[in-house]
Chain A
């Protein structure tokens, strides 16, 4: 599947280059959000346990310490770099590389007869190569466009969890996340669509902003040993849903390869 997508993308780009007018090279970056619902559900569960421990330990003279709750995972910075070939005045086809990363972490210790450490570090990223198209709806000084893209994403998820309960703590608690470290990865097809506003500054320079929705979900990330990502240890692999909204601020360079056919 990956090979077919890559070959298809290369063929389309090659064909676009042959018949294209101007080529636009762009870089963009901006805030991005990913749903990561199942991961955040486990985050809420971990926070419930941390809150219970903090509250009860505050009442136990033989144990001291507090651990901060985990923030939600999902918000981060996305970046894109790509080029598009204008096949007509309104329509362009191209390819782009996209990256996104988000993480959350907390750490703290409980001190009693022993030092008990709680340290949780979750990190998620995705890199994708997309075939993308743009259609200009409106050109009134400011250009309003619709964007669509599809391609293959490689995603990774890293976890490092230490969750030690002080030996003096009177109760056992269910639902503790399994301790240890793991690096999981997977790849799948993803899609994105959005709207863009572009502001031509000169004939060869544009700035703009875009609002995209990315659809990207991985159901079975695995580590090198073939173990599935199972953050809560319930035996069911977690789905890593990186779908979400991205806002991008873009700088574009427009190079007119064939002035006679160039984009107006």
Chain B
């Protein structure tokens, strides 16, 4: 009987040890890195704000917050700000380290957007008639996109004259064969691939070329 009690106690102790080891011994002590970011998508340059105070450690306390902003820059502290100057997608990584030296991390994607180029053009000759600028058929028109601009460089100017014809170049010449109103579309592309379109309607009248010398102030004699 004594032997049975001994084995019973031994078994009970073993069971308790195994249970405690199983339930508690492998409990994850990894600190949890959590953070908010605002904004995560914006035109460059912009300042992004990061807040890692949501992070926590189930078994201790967080003693260090390390930021990697994804563009080669780094920071420290529970809260951080960073200015993104170059466009691109950046993975922001927060690594937190607890008082036992155990680390945990999480990440977010920040999109620094390339500002698109501005697109505009002027053309000449053009005459004003009853508050409308007009051009005559077969009259050579110079389209000039020099006023288009970008933070980097505009690398392409593409024209669609609205009658099925196209051209490229910062300054182009074109003449319409038939009277009518045409939507001239200028598409400019910058060195980061950003594109912007600008559309302007142009009225072409039949008959002889009409310019500012003939129709000063849009006198209506051009028809």
* Chain A residues with a Cβ under 8 A of chain B: 33, 35, 37-38, 41, 44-45, 48-49, 52, 137-138, 144, 146, 170-175, 193-195, 211, 213, 215, 234, 241, 243-245
Question: Can you offer 11 A-B residue contacts whose CB atoms are under 8 A?
Answer: A33-B23, A35-B23, A38-B28, A44-B58, A48-B54, A137-B5, A193-B11, A193-B15, A195-B11, A213-B19, A241-B26
Given contacts A172-B40, A174-B94, A193-B14, contact A48 B56 (CB under 8 A): yes
Count class of interface residues, chain B: 20 to 34
Interface positions of B from 1 to 51, Cβ below 8 Å from A: 1, 4-5, 7-8, 11-12, 14-15, 18-19, 22-23, 26-28, 30, 32-38, 40, 51
* Chain B residues with a Cβ under 8 A of chain A: 1, 4-5, 7-8, 11-12, 14-15, 18-19, 22-23, 26-28, 30, 32-38, 40, 51, 54, 56, 58, 94, 106-108
Q: Is B33 within 8 A of A175, CB to CB?
A: yes
- Taking CB atoms, residues of chain A closer than 8 Å to B106 are 174-175, 234
Q: Which 9 A-B pairs have the closest CB atoms?
A: A171-B36, A243-B22, A172-B40, A174-B106, A137-B4, A175-B106, A174-B108, A171-B38, A213-B19
- Taking CB atoms, residues of chain A closer than 8 Å to B51 are 171
Q: Which B residue sits closest to A52, measured CB to CB?
A: B54
Q: Which B residue sits closest to A193, measured CB to CB?
A: B15
Q: Is B15 within 8 A of A174, CB to CB?
A: no
DSSP class of B's interface residues: helix, strand, loop or mixed?
mixed
Q: B4, B40, B94 — which one has the most chain A CB atoms within 10 A of its CB?
A: B4
Assembly CA distance A241 to B22 (angstroms): 9
- Taking CB atoms, residues of chain B closer than 8 Å to A175 are 32-35, 106
Partner of A41, one of B11, B19, B32: B32
- Taking CB atoms, residues of chain B closer than 8 Å to A172 are 36-38, 40, 108
Assembly CA distance A245 to B20 (angstroms): 10
Assembly CA distance A215 to B1 (angstroms): 30
Q: Is B32 within 8 A of A45, CB to CB?
A: yes
